[in-house]
Amino acid sequence: MLPTDPPPANPHYSRTDATHLNVSDAEWKRILPDDVYHVAREKGTERAFTGKYWDATGLGTYHCAVCGNALFRSDSKFGSSCGWPSFFEALRPDSVRYESDRSFGMVRTEVLCNRCDSHLGHIFDDGPKPTGKRFCMNSIVLDFVPDKAR
Ligand code: FE
C-alpha cells in the first residue's frame, strides 16, 4: 500500500451487530490506522488533553472505533480533570469487559471492548455518583455518533 492510499475498509465494523469478533492482530494491523492500532491492540495510552473527546459535551453515543460496538452514552460522561474522556457507566453491562493489569508497577483494571477485545482504557473507583466509577478512556478508540445523525 502506498502511503497516500486510504486505509483499507474495515469489514468488521458494525454499530448494530454485537456478535463477538475473532480477528487476529495481524489483520487489525492491516485494517486500522497505526495510532488506533497502538492503543487498541498494543494497550497504548494517548497523551492527556490531546484526544478529540476529553472535553466533548455533545449528546450521542460513543462506539468502539475498532469494531463499532456501542460503549457509552453521553449522559454518563462527566467533566474529568484527568485529560481523557471519562464515563461513570457503560451503555450495557456487557458492552465492555475487564481484566487485571499489573503493568508499570501498578495494579489497575483494564477495560476492553467486549465485541473485539480491544483495549479502551482503565476503570477507577473515584468517579461520581451513582456508580462511583470512572471509566478513563482513550479518545482514539472511541467513535462519537451524535443523536441527530441517527
Ligand atoms: Fe470493539
Q: Distance from the CA of 148 to the center of ligand 1, in angstroms?
A: 23
pLDDT above 90 for 149: no
What mean pLDDT comes out for the span 58-65?
A: 97
pLDDT above 60 for 123: yes
pLDDT for the residue 80? 86
The CATH code of the domain that includes 47 is: 2.170.150.20
What mean pLDDT comes out for the span 37-41?
A: 98
Answer whether residue 17 is part of any domain. Answer: no
Q: Distance from the CA of 113 to the center of ligand 1, in angstroms?
A: 5
Answer whether residue 13 is part of any domain. Answer: no
Q: Distance from the CA of 44 to the center of ligand 1, in angstroms?
A: 15
% the chain with pLDDT above 90: 91
> Is 116 among the catalytic positions?
no
pLDDT above 50 for 1: no
Total structural domains within the chain:
1
Placement of cell 461520581 in the chain: 128
Which one of the listed residues 64, 67, 116, 136 is annotated catalytic? 136
What mean pLDDT comes out for the span 140-148?
A: 95
Could you give phi then psi for residue 145, rounded to 5 degrees?
-115, 110
Q: Distance from the CA of 28 to the center of ligand 1, in angstroms?
A: 11
* Rounded distance between C-alpha atoms, residue 95 and residue 63, angstroms: 10
Range of the domain at 61: 25-146
